[in-house]
Structure 1
Amino acid sequence: MNKKLLIISPYFPPSNAADMQRVRMSLPYFLQFGWEAEVVTVDERYSDSSKDELLLQSLPTTIKVHKVNALDKKWTSKFGLGSLALRSLWFYKQKINRLLKTGKFDLIYFSTTQFPVCILGTYWKKKFGVPFVIDFQDPWHSNYYMDKPKSQRPPKYWFSYRLNKYLEPIAMRHVDGLISVSAAYLTDLSERYPTVRKVPAAVIPFGFDENDVAVARANQEDYPDLLSAESKNLVYVGRGGEDMYRAIIPLFECLQSSLLSRQDNSLSAFRIYFIGTSYAPAGQGKPSIQPLALAYGLQNHVVEISDRISFYHTLSTLQQADALFLPGSDDPKYTASKLYPYLLSGKPILAIFNSDSPALKTLHHCGAEHAYGYQSARLGAHIHDFIKQFIAGTLPKPVYKEKSLDAFSAVNMTRLQSELFHQITSG
């Protein structure tokens, strides 16, 4: 007999938010692993994230999706309150109280980076006796930005840091299971909360669904072309920020050296695109890469489009690129959610990460030959060789390891989640 899973995901299709992708990709497969899932999300009217209606087509028609309201941001922002989690917290409490009174659920699953909503897990566990799991796609409370200058800190960092420090223990002292994309996140949590060492936990990376690639190809003509047809295009799609400078600067130094010494005149037809670098609403994002390009005299070779693009537009753009650039954060715990769409593109990838990032191990395991730590002594030479071959058109077509990729498929990632859920509810 199937068990019932109640999933809390404030962002959900058609909202184009990265933190709902795990849930979206898992929903078609939960049932085959013994879980009948329902989702509770915030009505997309209250979300200022971009929308992608195609995402709705990837959802099973049998899945129940409950929508809750939220306080309108146009009013709450006057008081400095923009968080979707905080704006929807009361409405989540009321809605799920009704669901738990009228129907039996075996487990509540929080899969979101809107972490404040997770404190309700403790409330529902005490009131209804339902265990809960939290998925750490990012850290909740973190000291990462404490030693960073104000310019590098997120907006309202002072408030969010103190709020997270207060809220995280409310959930963590009663949580029944943990999922994380990084083993380091689980280590940090166990050091802060010794009680979580006794609960089931699993490191489950972000996965991929090959069906998404087919959808992107079928709808490619519906998206505007962002890349120049007259140049060789190295493309990155994802957030920007100064924490990625240590991965980007070695590439810029290599290009600057080649241009100034006139070693490679063909660089005039070379472009690097950084697309979707800001989380701000469309038209309001501030460039974070272009100022760095200007400092290296590369403003004619670097194109930054700060507005985020939809999920399937992203996949389509990766397919149109000549090669892909994948820079990582200076945080050694960082693992990119975009690894698998990059690998599935079949394009050559130049990846530069902190040498301790788990992303490098994954890339090497899947057969990515040009993935380096930015602490590497020969990094400059590696980058120069990659760019030289790329410009000359002599980069060999990569052959990524199919069996290694299969381990990170959506169906396998769902199996791992389900095994953890069964472990929690089998007692």
Structure 2
Amino acid sequence: MHRVRTSLPYFKQFGWEAEIVAVQPLYTDIGTDDLLCTLVPKEVKIHYVRSLDKRITSKIGLGAVALRALPFYRAYVNKLLSCNKFDLIYFSTTQFPVCVLGPYWLNKFKVPYVIDMQDPWHSNYYQGKPRNEQPAKYWFSYRLNKFLEPVAMKAVSGLISVSEDYTDQLKNRYPNLQNVPAATITFGMYKDDVGVALENSFPSILDKGKINIVYAGRGGADMHTAITPVFSTLSKLLQLQPNKFKNVRLYFIGTSYAPANKGTASFKALARQYGIEQYVIEQTNRLSYYHTLNTLSNADALFIPGSDDSRYTASKIFPYLMVGKPILGLFHPKSSALKILKDAGINTAYDFDTISEDNITAFINGALNKTSQTIYVNADVLKEHSAEYKTGLQCQLFEQAIKYANNDLPIF
């Protein structure tokens, strides 16, 4: 919902009125952040649907909220579409199974739909990898995604994605998508977010007596390529000058999507291999959005590790830019995130092929010596990646999708 939340204040100025249909928070495992609602325009209608109780469905292995809420979405939105005139249905979520309702609503109510691919849905990335590197319930989720994705894609009228590779992959997989309007739109920066984060108090998870270099985001074995050179360099620095670097701490926060206190650490074992486990703090529990922003704002420096999958885009890199702290970024050479950071003026963003121990050492020294307390992001980049600008791009795609649907409505 992050993209939608930052777009809601601007939809109206581009000629669109939005209504939200979401699952009641009590049915999800994800922590809630009441502050997020304070910036939603008051005129926006928010509808909540129920879900099957996970305490019951988990006994048969069904945990995903999208699957548990699917019949309730169907029934509730049927009523909305029966009683009101809507021009478009916009699926903007990583709970992709709900998107299979798009073809059903198109057929029943003749309302076209757009899908926002914030992550890959069906992917072969983990095929053939060791089981300990695969996500939980991978055998089931892989087959379910392989079955459901083509159902949703058979009649979609528009695609938005955070990475052009995601769209290209879909068009290669499904010939019917060749002429479907598509746009690559990363998440936008909402100008008031940092202010809200700093105006409110949150429990501090950082050690104020240390030099804290922080990453907040998902974990995974696919990030080990980016993290290994940092761990290796810090290990050598501690061996050479232990007194100088003994106060450096690397934080990895919110690395698991699992319910609170049930996540598996992604990076602690790797830190142990390099003998620096006491200098690496990994918290699998996720923080609320504003708590995360507050934590990033109070760090000495920030670290953004990328995936070894070239298609992966760190779509949430913009909070890092917003807080104005020094950033060390390390990405696949083909990652779009690398270009975004460099265009923004971040000269400490590297790819896997060019990063050196000297680069990492210089960054850590800068954090120790506090020689670079803030960064100054290119103003044109800030405007180009603002939530307002990104909302305008979404609305352009909406218009294209409606025109496409009117000329090419499928017949079931």
CA distance in 1, matches of 2:309, 2:365: 29
Aligned to 2:340: 362
- 1:171 corresponds to: 152
Contact 1:181 1:205 in 2 (8 A): yes
Larger deviation: 199-208 or 329-338?
Answer: 329-338
Is residue 238 of structure 2 the alignment partner of residue 259 of structure 1? yes
Corresponding residue number in structure 2 for 1:271: 249
Structure 1 unaligned regions, length at least 5 = 1-19
Q: Which residue of 2 aligns with 1:236?
A: 215
Correspondence for 1:159 among 140, 148, 151: 140
Q: How big is the shift at 1:398?
A: 2.1
- Counterpart check, 1:421 vs 2:398: yes
Equivalent of 1:74 in 40, 46, 55? 55
Report the residue type matching 2:209 in the other structure: E
Measured in 1, the distance between the counterparts of 2:286 and 2:366 equals 30
CA deviations on 1:270-305 (whole Å, 9 max, x unpaired) are 111111111122222222211211111112211112
Contact map agreement 1:238 1:275 (CA 8 A) in 2:
yes
In the other structure, the counterpart of 1:394 is: 371
- Secondary structure in structure 1 of the residue aligned to 2:385: coil
Q: 2:163·2:311 contact (CA, 8 Å) conserved in 1?
A: yes
TM-score, scaled relative to structure 1: 0.92
Which residue is 2:21 aligned to? 40
**The residue matched to 2:361 in structure 1 has which SS?**
helix
Over residues 116-137 of structure 1, what are the superposed CA-to-partner deviations in whole Å (9 max), with x where a residue is unaligned? 1111100111111111100000
Q: How far, CA to CA, are the matches of 1:296 and 1:102 in structure 2?
A: 62
**Cα distance in 2 for residues equivalent to 1:414 and 1:246:** 34
| Aligned residue type for 2:213 | L
Given candidates 277, 282, 285, the residue that maps to 1:307 is 285
Aligned match for 2:359, one of 349, 374, 382: 382
Question: TM-score when scaled to structure 2?
Answer: 0.96
- Aligned mate of 1:97, from 78, 85, 88: 78
Does the alignment pair 1:111 with 2:120?
no
2:409 paired residue number: none
The residue number in structure 2 matching 1:288 is 266
Counterpart of 1:351 in structure 2 is 329
The AA in structure 1 aligned to 2:397 is L
* Partner Cα distance (2:363, 2:196) in 1: 31
2:6 alignment counterpart: 25
Partner residue, 1:404: 381
More deviation, 264-273/414-423 = 264-273
**Structure with more contact order per residue of length (Cα contacts < 8 Å, sep ≥ 6):** 2
Q: Secondary structure at the match of 1:375?
A: coil
Q: Tell me the amino acid that sits aligned with residue 356 of structure 2.
A: L
User: Secondary structure, in 3 states, of the residue corresponding to 1:233?
Assistant: strand
Tell me, what secondary structure is at the counterpart of 1:368? Answer: coil
Q: String of CA shifts for 1:327-347, please: whole Å, max 9, x gaps.
A: 111111111132111011111
Q: Deviations over 1:91-117 (max 9, x none)?
A: 111111111111111111000111111
**Corresponding residue for residue 410 of structure 2:** none
Deviation sequence 1:208-267 (CA, Å, 0-9, x none): 101111111110xx211111111111111111121111100000111111122x246310
| SS of alignment partner, residue 51 of structure 2 | coil
One-letter code aligned to 1:279:
Y
CA distance in 2, matches of 1:267, 1:120: 54
SS of residue matched to 2:106: helix
Shift of residue 379, structure 1, vs aligned partner: 2.2
1:237 and 1:276 in contact (8 A); partners too:
yes
Contact preservation (8 Å) 1:208, 1:340: yes
Q: Counterparts of 1:247 and 1:91 in 2: how far apart (Å)?
A: 41
What is the DSSP-based 3-state SS (H/G/I as helix, E as strand, rest coil) of the residue aligned with 1:104? coil
Report SS of the residue matched to 2:277. coil
1:133 aligns to what?
114
The alignment status of 1:55 with 2:36, answered yes or no, reads: yes
Tell me the matched-pair count: 404
Give the 3-state SS of the residue equivalent to 1:324 in structure 2: strand
Q: Could you tell me which residue of structure 2 aligns to residue 249 of structure 1? A: 228
Once residues 26 and 366 of structure 2 are traced to their aligned partners in structure 1, the CA distance between those partners, rounded to angstroms, is 48
Runs of 4+ in 1 over 4 A off after TM superposition: none
Note if 1:83 corresponds to 2:64: yes
How far apart in 2 are the matches of 1:240 and 1:337?
A: 14
One-letter identity of the residue aligned with 2:339? K
Contact 2:115 2:159 in 1 (8 A): yes
Q: CA RMSD in A?
A: 1.2
Structure-1 separation of matches of 2:38 and 2:294: 17
Contact in 2 for aligned 1:386/1:395 (Cα 8 Å): no
Q: d(CA) in 2 for partners of 1:39 and 1:396? A: 40
1:318 paired residue number: 296
Match of 1:12 in 2: none
Aligned identity (percent) is 53
